[in-house]
Amino acid sequence: MTMEEIIGFVAALDGVLTLRPQPGDGSPEISWGDTYFYYAPDGVTPVNVQPFATVVTKNYPGDETSRLERPDVFRVNIATGKEEFVRWTGHTPREPATGQDPGATDTLIAHPLYGTMGWLAVLNPGPRTEATTRDLLRTAYDLARARYERRAAPN
């Protein structure tokens, strides 16, 4: 899967707001070239809400273990929730991830930093992880949509 295929897949889901920071839009320079997905059917960037998935193209301070400085390497980060996290890692988000190489491509891993919050990640999804990546992106979307609908429901 290319980065554009992933972005197109997620952006096509109903109610998704796709943010692609670039120079001149007021976003921090570190975020330029990355992509953030929110469930926002009104098209307004939510406040106090994390994206349900991201595609990052570079290392961030404190998050260098995936070695995203390598040419053509990107990481898909997915807020899968505890159930899917446990299903795919065999441990709860609070337990440390062991035996994984955060720089391995086409391999599903606990996110190097946000695994403790139930996030999974995959570098350059390929034949081994493409279907799983799509399924997990759909799961994260469904969770984000459900949270949005709960918040929007009248008390």
Q: Which amino acid is it at 49?
A: V
Residue 98 lies in a domain: no
> What local confidence, expressed as pLDDT, does residue 152 receive?
87
Residue 90 is assigned to a structural domain of this protein? no
The count of domains in the chain is 1
Which pTM does this prediction carry? 0.95
Tell me the percentage of the chain whose pLDDT exceeds 70: 99
Q: Quick check: 142 pLDDT over 90?
A: yes
Q: Which domain holds residue 28?
A: 3-82
The whole-number average pLDDT for the span 9-29 is 97
Instruction: Reply yes or no on whether the pLDDT at 155 is more than 80.
Output: no
Domain contains 56: yes
Alpha-carbon span 147 to 151, nearest angstrom: 6
Q: Is residue 103 part of a domain?
A: no
- 36 belongs to a structural domain: yes
**Quick one: what percent of the chain has pLDDT higher than 90?**
93
14: nearest Cα among 151, 142, 147? 142
Look at residue 73 and tell me whether its pLDDT is greater than 80.
yes
- Asked if residue 39 belongs to a domain, the reply is yes
